[in-house]
Structure 1
Amino acid sequence: MKKVKFILMALVAVIAFSSCERVAPNYAGVLMENYGKDGKSDFKVVSGKVSTIEWGTELFQVPLFDQRGEFAEPVTLKAADNTEFKAKPTYSYKVIKERAIDVVFDNKHIDKAETESGKDGFMQSLEDNILEPRIYDLIKEESRKHTTDSLMANGGSLTFEKRLEQIVESEFEKRGLRLLTFSAQLEFSAKVRDKIDSRNEVNTNITVLDQQIAEQKKRNELEQLKTEQALIRSRGLTKEILQQQFIDKWDGKSPIYSSPIDFVKVTK
């Protein structure tokens, strides 16, 4: 009888020991009790060794270090002018420690099994099922507000990514996450790039022609001003003025062969 009792006690000890989990360093332990039936009141932050032997009890370990994610495949988007292009977003983020319960409570239904790559299963599932679908919706909506020309212009894609980063950052914050970096990595087809390059070349040529036309107009205006100035001077040249100019320039010695000026006749 004692032997049976000892075995039972040992069995209970083994079960109790196996039903304990230890919160890993740099992780936030969130313990769910009562199957979470009473909402967030059934969730609490724990540390160290935690017992999960009771029914409806489950320990979630939320990593507090940086997480990196990227879309496995590029997503197809459309600009405002209906041109298709692709994006393959990459991002990094971390869980806000004070919001660990929110992260677990909102996403407790997702699979938290360890992935083959070794990444925490809960976070990987969060990215695959929650974050990336939401990012896709946001980038799809934002892309419709920009034309292909504006996206491919100097600084255009950077402006687009900065705006998108702000939107994604706000979305992550609502979910208890802090966005650290974000890049949309836009990709345009060769056909679209050639089309834009050709259009840019035409626009450049037009700009050069406009500058040449403007320059020629200024030259014409200058010539017109010179002509008008010459006319004004010619109208002011009276006989007396011509005689005075002749006197000023003649040295009194050089022979004069002919002159229509009356003054010359007088001097003879």
Structure 2
Amino acid sequence: MKIPLIIAGVLITGLIILFTFTERIDAGHEGILVKLYGSDKGVQDVTQVTGRVWYNPLTESVYEIPTYVQTVNYSAFTVNAKDGSVFTVDPTLSLKIQDGQSPRIFKKYRKTLAEVLDRTLVNHIKDVYRIEFNKYPTDSIISQREKFENGVQTKMEDFLKKEGFMLEQLTSGIQYPKSITDAINLKNAAIQKAQQAENELRVVRAQAQKMIVQAEAEAKSNELRQRTLTPLIVQQMFIEKWDGKTPLYGNSPTLFKNIP
């Protein structure tokens, strides 16, 4: 009876050890094995595939670092253009860890990925925008928006690459100063009013042209009538319209001569 109990105890102990001293690294993650004691106190091993990592929980820890794309919406902040105008930036970044770079990132920051993205990188991201904004005066930022955004994109990619990240997408969310926005709105309103006035003027011109054409046609018609209305035709028209009963005023046309 004792042997089966011993075997059962060994199996149970083995299961406890199996689930206590191993960590499963899921797909889309990199596993890092970290020493808690000793002079190195850093990353000892890297697991880039799914599976289980054996470790000593008394002296080691295992971390899972997600390698899929992370999207971070940072809080808005203000930056100054070269001429002092204040812009608001509300950036959103989609990025991921470069394959195999999680150990280096952990050694440098000793924080979780969420902490690195949300807190540590934000100051560097602000610096990228400050440097790029300081290159341009306000009017250039507006008129050369594409060039400015490309500059930010390139500088952000270079910075994140050095930190072990790969930039997938960047949205700056730039908001212009209120004075610039008001000026743009006034300009757009003036353009719309000018366009409206131009359209109305076109309508008036078209109507006037139509009236001129009608008047010219009427004048030509009257002129043609005057040329063709001979006394004989007038007399014929009078006869056609007279019903033989209606009183006549003035001299009626003489149809037949009196014979003495």
TM norm structure 2: 0.61
Aligned counterpart for 2:155 among listed residues 167, 171, 182: 167
Q: Which residue of 2 aligns with 1:143?
A: 133
Deviations 1:57-103 (A, max 9, x none): 111212222121111x3111111111111011111111111322212
Q: Which residue of 1 aligns with 2:208?
A: none
1:69–1:35 Cα change, 3 Å: farther
- Counterpart AA for 1:68: T
Structure-1 separation of matches of 2:172 and 2:39? 39
Cα shift at 1:106:
1.7
Aligned counterpart for 2:122 among listed residues 120, 132, 138: 132
- Counterpart AA for 1:134: H
Q: Which residue of 1 aligns with 2:61?
A: 58
Structure-1 separation of matches of 2:163 and 2:66? 15
- Counterpart AA for 1:151: I
1:133–1:36 Cα change, 3 Å: farther
1:75–1:99 Cα change, 3 Å: same
Aligned counterpart for 1:181 among listed residues 169, 187, 197: 169
Structure-2 separation of matches of 1:170 and 1:60? 27
Structure-2 separation of matches of 1:178 and 1:168? 10
Q: Which residue of 2 aligns with 1:99?
A: 101
Q: Which residue of 2 aligns with 1:43?
A: 44
Structure-2 separation of matches of 1:8 and 1:129? 47
| Sequence identity (%) | 22
Contact kept in structure 2, 1:161 and 1:183, CA below 8 Å:
no
1:17–1:88 Cα change, 3 Å: same
Cα shift at 1:133:
2.0
Cα shift at 1:191:
2.2
Residue ranges of structure 1 left out of the alignment (5+ in a row): 111-121, 202-268
Cα root mean square deviation, aligned: 3.0
Partner secondary structure for residue 127 of structure 1: helix
1:148–1:162 Cα change, 3 Å: same
Map 1:1-268 onto structure 2 (within 5 A): 10=12, 13-14=15-16, 17-35=19-37, 37-38=39-40, 42-46=43-47, 47=49, 48-71=51-74, 73-108=75-110, 110=111, 122-153=112-143, 156-195=144-183
